[in-house]
Amino acid sequence: MSRAWTVHPPPRRPASVPAAGAAPARRLPGGLVLIPERFSMLAALLPAPWFLAHRLWWPLLAYLAFAVALMLLAPAGVGLPLGVAAHLLAGLHAQDLRRWQLARRGRPAAAVVLAADEETALRRALEARPDWAVLEAGGPAA
How far CA 54 is from CA of 109, 133, 134, 136, in Å, comes to: 17, 26, 27, 23
Mean model confidence pLDDT for the chain: 86
- Per-position DSSP letters for 8-62, written without gaps between them: EPPPSS--SS-GGG-----B-TTS-EEEE-S--HHHHH-HHHHHHHTT-HHHHHH
Per-residue pLDDT tens digits for 40-89? 999 999 999 999 999 999 999 999 999 999 989 989 889 899 999 999 99
CB 36 within 8 A of CB 4: yes
Whole-number pLDDT of residue 63: 95
- According to DSSP, residue 131 is labeled T
pLDDT in tens, 8-35: 998 865 445 555 555 555 544 458 899 9
The predicted structure's pLDDT at residue 19: 52
Q: With beta carbons less than 8 A apart as the criterion, state whether 108 and 8 touch.
A: yes
- According to the model, what pLDDT value does residue 29 have? 47
Tell me whether strands 33-36 and 111-115 are parallel, antiparallel or unpaired.
unpaired
